[in-house]
């Protein structure tokens, strides 16, 4: 049986204190476990982090999309058209190192927050093969569950398959991993697909939105419970939660997982300054989803223990 370090720590408060790990939970609004701080940010690193800290966050996972660093010069120019992003980092390994050096500099210079480093990696790379070298630079890896617009929407069957692949990969790459924004990606897919077909997205039903078929939640929970694989509840959940049909489906898909012991993360998934136009209030939707300070702090505490074992103070 896999047992999370974080779960062990709940029974060992002395160990928490000895390793400078907070003896209280971070509140949901104080965690941002998916903050884009690389090629897509519009501001310099200091200003970008200032903006996030002023908004109430105390612990961050800083990351970027790994595939962005594989673009050719022509692809990069095309990607930047219409965006205000500066060419802050070069492509390839040089860019990986420069980004991670910036993340390290932030962590060393600031005492007002805790920072971890990550990559966001497209889920399809679990099928096609991963790029191993950059994986060794980070504290954790988040898997981008894609809306796959025009193709099959994310669903429970596929997520179970992904979870098995991730658990197998963790035998080689021993860092925590997150399934990024699976539920909202299904909603996005279904709404766009309906619209493309000339159907009013408001006509979609709870049954159509549901992520899981019978028995799939239990199967996923058996895989993830006690593991170091987490499910993200992202900021976009709040937008969909305002729709009563989406809200009912999100609760039905998420709360049973929480009740069965699955661990979660919360995040803004902020890519640019406009991401801060809507207040980050995860408790507004997390309460109904069964997502709590306890089942989101496990990852934070696991990462702090890993850091303490490496002799890193911040």
3 state DSSP class of 36: strand
| DSSP 8-class letter at 53 | H
Residue with tokens 């519009």, as numbered in its chain? 42
Alpha helices in 136-243 (DSSP H): 156-169, 182-196, 206-209, 216-224, 236-241
**Residues 185 and 232 sit within 8 Å (Cβ to Cβ):** no
**Looking at the domain assignment, is residue 52 inside a domain?**
yes
- CA-wise closest residue to 173 among 117, 120, 134, 135: 135
Q: What is the pLDDT of residue 17?
A: 37
What sections of the chain are H helices per DSSP? 5-9, 13-18, 45-54, 73-80, 92-109, 125-128, 132-135, 156-169, 182-196, 206-209, 216-224, 236-241, 244-259, 283-289, 293-309
Check residue 85 and give its pLDDT. 65
Cα end-to-end distance, the chain, whole Å:
31
- pLDDT tens for the chain, 314 residues long, are 333 433 333 333 333 333 367 777 999 999 999 999 999 888 889 999 998 898 899 999 999 999 999 999 899 888 887 676 666 899 999 999 999 999 999 999 999 999 999 999 999 999 999 999 999 999 999 999 999 877 899 999 999 999 999 999 999 999 999 999 999 999 999 999 999 999 999 999 999 999 999 999 999 999 999 999 999 999 999 999 999 999 999 999 999 999 999 999 999 998 877 777 788 999 999 999 999 999 999 999 999 998 888 776 55
Global confidence as pTM: 0.90
What is the CATH classification number for the domain harbouring 295?
3.20.20.140
Whether 217 maps to a domain, the answer reads yes
* Domain-embedded: residue 59: yes
Residue 20 has what pLDDT? 60
Expressed as residue numbers, the domain containing 69 is: 5-309
Residue 142 lies in a domain: yes
Residue 314 lies in a domain: no
Domain count, the chain: 1
Is residue 200 situated within a structural domain?
A: yes
Closest C-alpha to 296, from 268, 258, 269, 260? 258
Close Cβ partners of 70 (under 8 Å, ≥ 6 residues apart):
91, 92
Does 128 reside within a domain? yes
Distance between CA 225 and CA 202 in Å, rounded? 35
> Is residue 284 in a domain?
yes
């Amino acid at each position: 049986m896999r047992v999370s370090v974080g779960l062990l720590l709940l029974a060992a408060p002395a160990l928490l204190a000895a390793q400078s790990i907070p003896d209280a939970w971070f509140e949901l609004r104080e965690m941002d476990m998916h903050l884009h701080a690389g090629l897509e940010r519009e501001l310099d690193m200091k200003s970008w982090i200032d903006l996030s800290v002023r908004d109430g966050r105390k612990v961050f996972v800083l990351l970027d999309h790994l595939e962005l660093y594989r673009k050719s010069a022509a692809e990069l120019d095309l990607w930047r058209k219409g965006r205000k992003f500066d060419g802050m980092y070069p492509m390839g390994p040089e860019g990986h190192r420069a980004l991670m050096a910036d993340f390290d500099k932030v962590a060393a210079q600031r005492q007002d927050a805790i920072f971890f480093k990550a990559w966001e990696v497209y889920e399809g790379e679990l099928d096609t093969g991963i790029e191993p070298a950059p994986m060794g630079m980070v504290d954790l890896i988040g898997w981008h569950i894609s809306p796959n617009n025009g193709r099959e929407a994310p669903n429970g069957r596929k997520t179970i398959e992904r979870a098995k692949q991730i658990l197998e990969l963790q035998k080689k790459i021993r860092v925590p991993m997150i399934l990024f924004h699976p539920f909202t990606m299904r909603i996005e897919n279904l709404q766009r697909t309906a619209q493309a077909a000339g159907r009013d997205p408001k006509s979609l039903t709870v049954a159509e939105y549901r992520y899981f078929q019978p028995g799939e939640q239990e199967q996923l929970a058996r895989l993830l419970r006690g593991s170091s694989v987490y499910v993200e509840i992202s900021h976009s959940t709040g937008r969909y939660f305002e729709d009563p049909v989406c809200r009912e489906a999100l609760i039905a898909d998420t709360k049973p997982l929480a009740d069965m012991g699955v661990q979660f993360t919360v995040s803004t998934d902020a890519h640019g300054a406009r991401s801060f136009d809507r207040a980050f209030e995860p408790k507004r939707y997390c309460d109904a989803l069964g997502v709590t300070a306890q089942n989101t702090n496990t990852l934070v505490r696991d990462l702090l223990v890993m850091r303490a074992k490496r002799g890193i103070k911040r």
